[in-house]
Amino acid sequence: LVLAIICEEEELPNIFGQQKQNGLADLILGTDSRLNEVLARVPDIQRGPQPPFWLRNRHIQFIPFLIQNEVHRVVHPIPFQRIAVPIADCHEKPCESHSSRRTMNDTVTLDVFPPFDSDSEYPQFDRSSPIILYSPGLRCYSQDMPGNSVVRKAFGKGMRSIVFNRRGHTPNQPLKSPRWNLFGDVDDLEQIYWYIKDILSGDRTTPIFLYGISSGTAATVSALSKWDKRRRQNPLSKVPAFVASAHIVP
């Protein structure tokens, strides 16, 4: 704003071309004598950011976040609908039978909000409403991915949230086979994608946004790389597709 006030009569030249360097370009590049006037009017330009006191320590900065999470989890938890989904270890892998002893089949869970069977309670949602598919962090689940404020924000924007609790991450649900997905499995994620598209939504045109959080991004980033490669090699193959993705890491 200050630059505009001082140089409102000047014309901004093409500083990347051969045009003479003058006017606003000189001011931006720091060669104009009026720069001191700008600095006098806006002294904050010369100061670094000053975060709140609780953000100046890497341990203390988590305290407000943890308190907020506990209030949400205990006082007003999100009423997720939990859906159990069988996962086959033989997805795109050669094996004699899914019941083989060497096959690591299991059951994962999806936590959905708002639920698919609650049209009367949430009339603004239907089965074709946009979906955000979350891959939560280490030792996390739907009520703390960490945090769940993004789920509440999504609800306000008319987007349904589905949290994928990968193998070993659903509270009080023991593993059925000795495979624990610490960072997630791309094959599991793909099976979940098609379950959402074909069974839950029932509409393959439903837009899905992929959201990886912390260690959950290991699966989401790997999956997008694998699926993009498959799409390039065989454009007619059946490949998961998302309208966009976000990968939030420390």
pTM exceeds 0.85 for this model: no
Mean pLDDT over each residue of the chain, to the nearest integer: 80
Rounded to the nearest 5 degrees, what angle is found at the Cα of 131, between the Cα atoms of 125 and 135?
140
Distance CA 145, CA 12 (A): 47
pLDDT of 69 strictly over 60: yes
Model pLDDT for residues 103-129, shown as the tens digit of each residue: 788 999 999 999 988 767 888 898 889
Q: Give the pLDDT of residue 29.
A: 57
pLDDT of 244 strictly over 70: yes
Cβ-in-10-Å burial (0-12, 13-18, 19+) of 169 comes to: buried
Strand ranges in 96-181 using DSSP code E only, listed in sequence order? 106-113, 131-135, 160-165
Reported as a pLDDT band with limits 50, 70 and 90, residue 229 is very high
Least confident of 36-45, 81-90, 92-101: 92-101
Least confident of 78-92, 127-141, 152-166: 78-92
Name which residue leads in pLDDT, 120 or 212.
Answer: 212
For residue 144, which phi and psi values (nearest 5 degrees)?
-155, 95
